[in-house]
Structure 1
Amino acid sequence: MTEEHGRSKDNDEVIVRMTKREWEYVKDIHVASKYKEGFETLTPKQQDYTVKHLRDSVGIEFLAGLLFTFIIMVWSLFMDAPLKELANPSDTPLCERAPWYFIGLQELLIYFDPWLAGVVIPSILLAGLIVLPFIDPNKESGIGWYSFRVRPVAVSAFCFGYAMWYILIIVGQFFRGPGRVFYWPWEDKTIVKAVTQVEMTNFHIVGGFAFFILYFSACLITPRLVFKKLYKSLGVTRYHIFVSLMAVMMLIPIKILLRYIFDVKYILSLQIFNTALNF
């Protein structure tokens, strides 16, 4: 709800813009003839239509946090932590997994270099998922509403990134055996699988640059032509931020498919200042 500071010269009215949903809440309230600011100046009936943040939001979240903490404490009394014996430097097991919240990173190490899998890609994904809700084009009813019908762009992008990350965790936890080799759930992981060595190939440096130029150009141009309303509602700056984040996020499944289908190890491999930049 926004207030226009311009007042009518005839009757000194205050013009307020609001959505249809907001009007349903306030249409039966009789506002005083003189405009008064502040929560304390409202009548008890008018106060019922305001939001008391500390009471209605923070209090409920605090109680939910206490309840969740109590459940975890009770659960921990009946379930032991899955700790193993002390590490033996002379006996390195073939299959060691990171904690479940790091298994997604461990899975990315199979497809990307460590600096990409451990730092760059997770940072872009987390920053993108945080920024995406604020790029939502629906200014009228998008603020404060999180349903798919009201905010389809933000919800769809967030769900895609969220699901992709948990798919990496599931694959790393249940489909990886000794030596990080892929195992189907019905295969015995205590038996080391004989893996045939496949010679991996890299894109030529010209082909790598061409791939990224064409890929990002297509990602920037295609949505603008297909979803014209999206480009108009987002504007130039927010559109390019949104499309760039989605393009980087889509590179992860594309790189995985290229590795398994075409045996491509690196799309682009550069040697700059004695440092290897491989993607």
Structure 2
Amino acid sequence: MHAGSRFRSLLVGITADEDPAQAPALVYATELASNYQSKLTVYVAAPPLMQPFPLTLGSSSIWIAQETERIEDMSQKVIQTIHRLLSDRGVNAGIEHAHSPFDGRFQRLIDLARFHDLTVLNAAKSSGGWGRPAIEHAIFDTGRPVMVTPHGREKLRNVAIAWDGSARAARAVRDCLDVLLNADQVAIATVLDTKGSDGLKSADGLVDYLALYGIKASISVIANPPGDDEGQPLREFLMKEGFELLVMGAFVHSRLRQAVLGGMTRSLLDECPVPVMMAY
């Protein structure tokens, strides 16, 4: 285990209708668990329900029985695959899964996340399904950091911090100190628009804070030209400079404002070339 590591326990969430071998979150979390010698828990959520219409009083009990059996069969197949994948990596894990169509699709994930140091989830666009709501529940309802990953390549040597001076950005930095301590390169990226940048005003303070832990960080100022996509300049910076992880505070503006007008968090959740570690 990395010296002083706080990542003693990791949680990964996937669904029973996906191939675990192709789930970036599981691959990434397995690498993290191996590197940090962490306890790993996998939660397998129920697949979308297959509900025939119309349901009568008599047919509803048949449907419940059929759906319960289908969920159990699909979950067991996924669990067997997970055990095989983890065994190949020498990683042990506790695995839970939904048992009934009446199990809340997100509540058990939320409950588990509150007792784990980090939750790892697949990247997902806001187009329905389990993925995006799961990410937002993990961010808003658990009090723990969340990693959202578009791929399974666990590399944490070059890390960027999206710094805007907010309390949520500060919490993200604190929650991710273990990662920053082991990085070869840390850059504090602050976006500068026509109104200036609150992040730039306090970036020197963050440099001094990180130095207390022996972390040498540089400051990168990113121009943000007028446009509808707040995340695009940061995406371009990450790709151009070859960063492998982004650390940021989530939903600094209100959730409603981001839903209506867009924002940095929503833009990066929709599309980001690297894993994002977020705190709220």
Query: What interval of TM-score do these two structures reach, taking the shorter chain for normalisation?
Result: under 0.3
Q: Which has the larger radius of gyration?
A: 1
Q: Identify which of structures 1 and 2 has the higher relative contact order when contacts are C-alpha pairs closer than 8 Å and 6+ apart.
A: 2
Q: Which has the higher strand share?
A: 2
TM-score after normalising by structure 1: 0.23
